[in-house]
Chains A and B, each alone.
Chain A
């Protein structure tokens, strides 16, 4: 158990949430982003709208989503909440072909735009690149990579990226194709640092290429790091936000969680290198078998659509 005391200055209430460049896109994004999956898990449409509006007013401008989250509910909620405020937000959603072709991708894009009530996305990413043959399928002739380029040509999306939570080697395989990705999303937290590490293996490469790194799963995906006592919430979030990333996407399903995370983000000052190291060291034992990073070691975080496309059992048949 790692105490928060003595490690870093608390965020300052009233201070601004820092903005950082989104790679070489020219956009600036808030250091904290709102995760789309949890928006669909919020108790009501009203609470989801409140989360988005309060976040915007606090200076959060990055909003994450995916075509497949909660069968569209996550995108619909974000679209409704951003009505009339679209230009204040950097909106990202993800395409869920899971190996299928360009046409499927373009249809999903139209659906995403409709649900999000907008005529363009700021960032469109390939979702859940987690199977080892995904890069091959993505870059196959008529694959989703072609859809990304076409959507950009048509002006429907401004910037392109991909995301996945499984293995650094799959991310590196994606990068080896030299496709002009603007963003790359990955799990980054204080346990990842010493176990199948994206921080060590992927993050430096993404920064070297001038792409924007988007961090996710700062607390293990569903707060596993906190529930199991590996770390306290605020320290987990601080660690992730102190890495060289454009934004840390945080799943927020209630106003309480929003308030807690805004408190960390306001006036955020990155931890020192020594503080980062002491957190990594304190987490090393908990990290060493991956039982708190279930997205890497089990099927728990692998969506049903991707499983189906790859011939895997569903989450009901094989929960983990």
Chain B
């Protein structure tokens, strides 16, 4: 039936009787907004426009992204489905629970709708997650205590690592992954992970619809709208897109309000157009480099830091003349 309303479609969250908007508000980009009042305005306009799914993460902009989203949602908390992520990166349960309390405080709420393990990107992450006293136990405890309703994980590196997480047997409610027309032809989450999630009744959350920072759009391979339509037409619960300015919000709302999935032939045409750029991974640097791996993940695993990365610069700034060792939060 054609979508005659101009509302953003709501879709079922996995096996649960909960519905969320087909487009989600990405938390990292919110921290890129010029100031807090702009960020607050973006969040409020998004809610008014029909976006109910809000993404965030303990380590985005060292807490600023959560704090700004918390300010934006002040008084509107019950109108949204709020997710944030925990950044243990292999470290233990106690750290995870401390991060949870910090996230709740910054987001100005007493519970999360969804709490996910952030950045499952390295081959040993699944083992470290499920080990005794690992983050898996924190997810269970937080759920028991009523601080979180649902739990999941996210990562952008390799489908095989996602499959290894699923193989731990942990009862995830959601799984987040990069989904776009380039991924379809290269180390593909769409091919290898998405069908498995749908088979298991786990909510699939798409991210990086324009490859993170929009490089293929800047290079003219496809438009932002085409990229977003492709991702939203896949069998996912929501597609998380980064929103850092009014133009980005307007584009997201324009595509999402009254959204109708693309036909299979249009999907194939987009995959074909992107194929020649997909085959060496040039637009999916999150799969082949550390560019999208946050400092918490790199430090926990012993990978080198990128001194230009926004979180690293913020960490350095926080230690300036403070006498505190780097990094300050561990």
Binding partners A and B: yes
Given contacts A133-B280, A311-B280, contact A294 B285 (CB under 8 A): no
Report the minimal beta-carbon distance from A288 to chain B, rounded to whole angstroms: 4
Q: Which residue of chain A is the closest to B283 with respect to CB atoms?
A: A311
CB contact list, B280-301 vs A, under 8 A: 280-282, 285, 288-291, 301
Report the minimal beta-carbon distance from B123 to chain A, rounded to whole angstroms: 6
- Could you count the A-B residue pairs with CB atoms below 8 Å apart for me: how many are there? 60
**30 A-B residue pairs with CB within 8 Å:** A131-B280, A131-B281, A132-B280, A134-B280, A289-B122, A289-B125, A289-B302, A291-B301, A291-B302, A292-B302, A294-B303, A294-B304, A297-B122, A297-B290, A297-B303, A298-B289, A299-B288, A299-B289, A311-B277, A311-B280, A312-B282, A312-B285, A318-B285, A318-B289, A319-B304, A319-B306, A320-B289, A320-B290, A320-B303, A320-B304
Q: Which residue of chain A is the closest to B127 with respect to CB atoms?
A: A288
Report the minimal beta-carbon distance from B188 to chain A, rounded to whole angstroms: 12
Q: In the complex, A136 Cα to B124 Cα: how many Å? A: 32
Asked if A313 is at the interface of the complex by the 8 Å CB criterion, the answer is yes
Q: Given known contacts A290-B123, A311-B277, what 10 new A-B pairs fall within 8 Å (CB)?
A: A136-B279, A289-B125, A291-B122, A291-B302, A297-B122, A300-B304, A310-B280, A318-B285, A319-B304, A320-B289
Choose one: B124, B279, B290; the contact of A132 (CB below 8 Å).
B279
Hey, which chain B residues are within 8 Å of A228, CB to CB?
302
Report the minimal beta-carbon distance from A5 to chain B, rounded to whole angstroms: 26
Interface band, chain A = 20 to 34
Hey, which chain B residues are within 8 Å of A195, CB to CB?
123
Q: By the criterion CB–CB under 8 Å, are A320 and B306 in contact?
A: yes
Hey, which chain A residues are within 8 Å of B302, CB to CB?
228, 289, 291-292
Hey, which chain B residues are within 8 Å of A299, CB to CB?
288-290
Instruction: Please report B residues at the A interface, Cβ cutoff 8 Å.
Output: 122-125, 127, 186, 277, 279-282, 285, 288-291, 301-304, 306
Q: Beta-carbon contacts of A296-319 to B below 8 Å, as 1s and 0s?
A: 011110000000001111000011
Q: By the criterion CB–CB under 8 Å, are B289 and A310 in contact?
A: no
Q: Which residue of chain B is the closest to A195 with respect to CB atoms?
A: B123
Q: In the complex, A320 Cα to B281 Cα: how many Å? A: 15
Q: By the criterion CB–CB under 8 Å, are B122 and A290 in contact?
A: yes
Report the minimal beta-carbon distance from A302 to chain B, rounded to whole angstroms: 9
Instruction: Please report A residues at the B interface, Cβ cutoff 8 Å.
Output: 131-134, 136, 195, 228, 288-292, 294, 297-300, 310-313, 318-320
With most chain A CB atoms within 10 A of its CB, the pick from B122, B125, B186 is B122
Hey, which chain B residues are within 8 Å of A320, CB to CB?
289-290, 303-304, 306
Report the minimal beta-carbon distance from B187 to chain A, rounded to whole angstroms: 9
Q: By the criterion CB–CB under 8 Å, are A132 and B303 in contact?
A: no
Q: By the criterion CB–CB under 8 Å, are B285 and A288 in contact?
A: no
Q: By the criterion CB–CB under 8 Å, are B288 and A289 in contact?
A: no
Hey, which chain B residues are within 8 Å of A134, CB to CB?
280
Hey, which chain A residues are within 8 Å of B306, CB to CB?
319-320
In the A-B complex, the 3 residue pairs with the smallest Cβ-Cβ separation, listed nearest first, are: A289-B122, A288-B124, A311-B282
Report the minimal beta-carbon distance from B228 to chain A, rounded to whole angstroms: 23
Given contacts A291-B302, A320-B290, contact A310 B123 (CB under 8 A): no
Given contacts A132-B186, A195-B123, contact A291 B289 (CB under 8 A): no
Q: By the criterion CB–CB under 8 Å, are A310 and B282 in contact?
A: yes
Q: By the criterion CB–CB under 8 Å, are B289 and A289 in contact?
A: no
Hey, which chain A residues are within 8 Å of B289, CB to CB?
298-299, 318, 320
Q: In the complex, A289 Cα to B125 Cα: how many Å? A: 8
Hey, which chain B residues are within 8 Å of A298, CB to CB?
289-290, 303-304
Report the minimal beta-carbon distance from A173 to chain B, rounded to whole angstroms: 12
Q: In the complex, A294 Cα to B290 Cα: how many Å? A: 10
Given contacts A299-B289, A300-B304, contact A289 B280 (CB under 8 A): no
Report the minimal beta-carbon distance from A223 to chain B, rounded to whole angstroms: 14
Q: In the complex, A298 Cα to B286 Cα: how many Å? A: 10
Q: Which residue of chain A is the closest to B282 with respect to CB atoms?
A: A311
